[in-house]
Amino acid sequence: MDERTKILTVAGKGGVGKTSIAAAMIRILTEEYPGSRILAIDADPAIGLTTALGVEPEDTLDGIRKKIVESVEDGRPKEAIEMLNEARFRIFDTMLEEESFSFLAIGRPEAAGCYCKVNAYLKEVISLLAADFDYVVIDGEAGIEQINRRVMEKVTHLFLITDPSRKGCKVADTIKEVADELVMYDRCGVIVNRVREESIPLIRIDSAEILTYIPEDRTHAENDIMGVSVFDLPEDSPVMQGTREALRKMELI
């Protein structure tokens, strides 16, 4: 990985708003650093980042992996080897180029259950591509699976997202504990999302600094339901203000 590359990973329990925050990070970085090479990776099989950023990729990482697997299963190992050798170029073909950032999606495997194979591929992709960008923002899968499998083995900034619930806070603490053992990161902090002011004294995070509290935002919740892109949010919306504060405290802006 290029020492200049900043890799931001967003992790947390499902349903706490991490995808919206990841999208807000991408928007803020594009605004703060115009001309920088910024890569957004949707590493969550729920593929919510596509909607949050208003993009529509034609192919995914899992699509590439499936083509290689199919070549082997169909008795075409030579073709599979050629595809592996061309994997870097195929990944760039899969990458969606927007005006201010690039986008790559892990995809949603057709088979239910474990995402081990595509996660292993994602790990290699991150290592392969990181040096080509100034900033990489990864919207991780809900829970600890990708951290536990060391998919995010080398990141510079780990953002743990939670809501005020005790369960959400415990998941954030657990991810931090696992990351301390398995992930090499420079900075780690917590963003508490969807907070009512009266509940702030009750929120308990034991493992890392709380960077910001983002208030409940009914307008953003409605926009989220309608699939409004983060680029259409007003600058003074709570998710934009809170994410900007978190990036500032992590010395990224």
Give residue 28's pLDDT: 98
Going by C-alpha positions, the residue among 156, 159, 210, 163 that lies closest to residue 183 is 156
pLDDT band at 88 (very low <50, low <70, confident <90, very high): low
CATH superfamily of 6-249: P-loop containing nucleotide triphosphate hydrolases (3.40.50.300)
Higher pLDDT, 90 or 131: 131
Q: Which residue has the tokens 């969550």?
A: 44
The amino acid occupying position 97 is: E
The pairing of strands 135-139 and 157-162 is unpaired
For the chain, the average pLDDT equals 84
Secondary structure element (H or E) that encloses residue 139, with its range: strand 135-139
Say what the pTM is: 0.86
Please tell me the least confidently modeled range out of 32-36, 110-114, 123-127, 165-169: 110-114
Count CB-CB contacts under 10 A for residue 229: 14
Please tell me the least confidently modeled range out of 66-80, 112-126, 144-158, 179-193: 66-80
Tell me the domain boundaries of the chain.
6-249
Going by C-alpha positions, the residue among 61, 126, 58 that lies closest to residue 96 is 58
Q: Is the pLDDT of residue 98 over 50?
A: yes
Q: Is the pLDDT of residue 26 over 60?
A: yes
pLDDT in tens, 216-231: 988 777 777 787 899 9
pLDDT band at 78 (very low <50, low <70, confident <90, very high): low
Give residue 1's pLDDT: 47
Higher pLDDT, 253 or 89: 253
Dihedral angle sign, alpha carbons of residues 167, 168, 170, 175: positive
pLDDT in tens, 101-135: 999 988 765 554 455 565 666 677 777 788 899 99
User: Hey, what are 218's tokens?
Assistant: 């009914």
